């Protein structure tokens, strides 16, 4: 009789654990599905959905491994909201850049249609720039230094959701769509953009501590001349290039680069505008919550 009672108790305990896990999983899945359908449901094919599902599953496993509970599973990001268990749908470690740098100028290329694709990029829902708090605080120090030299920051992009990166990748496969070629890749065939690394399956921007920016001269009231525009695909955009550039253009790049490096950022060798915080807080997490106001 005792043996039968113990067996029954064990079965009940196992059933309760299973129901708890299933409930947690279903809440996470419901949150993910609702967010996906609301924000990304227009125009994605089955392959894209599978990509998102793989990312979701990886984030869910990470949340379980790092101690997320059933209570936390109901938040909209689908992962624990604490800084110790940030998952790919959790914006709690991020801030709006203009909250810390109100005088920054924003030119939100991916929220607009003036970019290398020619359409607003998926995942950009509102005209804001987001960064990890650590990156934004470091960028505030950069801004303070440059203000003393007569410059404001002009920011093109910050955090970029994986959804947007997937949009880039899908576009790169459509070789017939070359609307923006004259402006962003006039000397390259579109077929080489992915092969040569101009477009990739993942971006450091999705980790939340990378920013694309330039300088705005407060004396002239104009963006400074860097010798190549933002997002121009070609060697002229390489960060330390001198060939084909004027002394003033080389100097402008140096001013930006040294100001960023002083406060812990590192430039991407192939893009003068692209900087990543060396000690980024989420070096292994590729986030995929949409870009929208956190306030």
Q: What is the CATH number of the domain that holds 178?
A: 3.30.1380.10
Q: Are residues 48 and 182 in the same domain?
A: no
Q: Verify that 77 and 191 share a domain, yes or no.
A: no
Least confident of 83-87, 237-241, 252-256: 83-87
Coil/strand/helix, residue 84 = helix
Task: Label residue 78 by pLDDT band (50, 70, 90).
Answer: very low
- 32 shares its domain with 138: no
- The whole-number pLDDT of residue 143 equals 99
CA distance 31 to 59: 13
Q: Quick one: 144 and 285 in the same domain?
A: yes
- Of 260, 252, 292, nearest in space to 140 by CA: 260
Beta strands in the chain (DSSP E): 94-96, 105-106, 130-132, 151-157, 210-217, 222-223, 265-268, 271-277
Whether 271 sits among the annotated catalytic residues: the reply is: yes
Q: Is the pTM of this model over 0.85?
A: no
Work out the pLDDT band at 86, boundaries 50, 70, 90. low
The band of 44, judged by pLDDT with boundaries at 50, 70 and 90, is very low
Catalytic residue among 107, 134, 271, 280: 271
Domain end point (choices 59, 90, 121): 90
Q: Name the residue with higher pLDDT: 128 or 67.
A: 128
Domain hosting residue 34, numbered range? 1-90
Q: Report the range of poorest mean pLDDT among 62-66, 131-135, 168-172.
A: 62-66
């Amino acid at each position: 009789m005792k043996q039968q009672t113990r067996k029954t108790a064990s079965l009940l305990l196992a059933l309760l654990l299973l129901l708890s896990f299933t409930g947690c999983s279903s809440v996470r899945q419901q949150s993910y599905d609702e967010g996906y359908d609301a924000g990304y449901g227009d125009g994605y094919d089955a392959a894209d959905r599978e990509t998102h599902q793989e990312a979701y599953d990886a984030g869910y496993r990470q949340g379980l491994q790092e101690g997320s509970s059933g209570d936390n599973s109901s938040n909209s990001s689908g992962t624990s909201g604490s800084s110790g268990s940030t998952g790919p749908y959790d914006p709690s470690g991020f801030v709006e850049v203009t909250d810390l740098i109100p005088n920054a100028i924003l030119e939100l290329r991916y929220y607009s249609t003036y970019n290398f694709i020619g359409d607003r990029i998926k995942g950009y829902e509102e005209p804001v720039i987001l960064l990890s708090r650590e990156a934004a605080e470091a960028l505030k120090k950069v801004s303070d230094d440059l203000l003393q030299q007569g410059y404001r920051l002009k920011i093109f992009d910050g955090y970029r959701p994986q959804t947007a990166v997937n949009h880039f990748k899908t576009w790169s496969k459509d070789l017939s769509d070359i609307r923006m070629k004259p402006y962003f890749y006039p000397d390259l065939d579109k077929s080489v953009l992915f092969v040569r690394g101009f477009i990739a399956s993942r971006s450091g921007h999705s980790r939340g501590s990378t920013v694309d920016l330039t300088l705005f001269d407060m004396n002239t009231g104009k963006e400074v001349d860097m010798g190549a525009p933002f997002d121009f695909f070609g060697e002229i955009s390489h960060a330390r290039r001198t060939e084909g550039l004027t002394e003033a253009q080389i100097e402008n790049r140096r001013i930006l680069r040294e100001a960023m490096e002083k406060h812990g950022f590192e430039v991407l060798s192939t893009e003068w505008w692209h900087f990543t915080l060396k000690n980024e807080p989420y070096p292994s997490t590729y986030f995929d919550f949409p870009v929208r106001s956190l306030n």
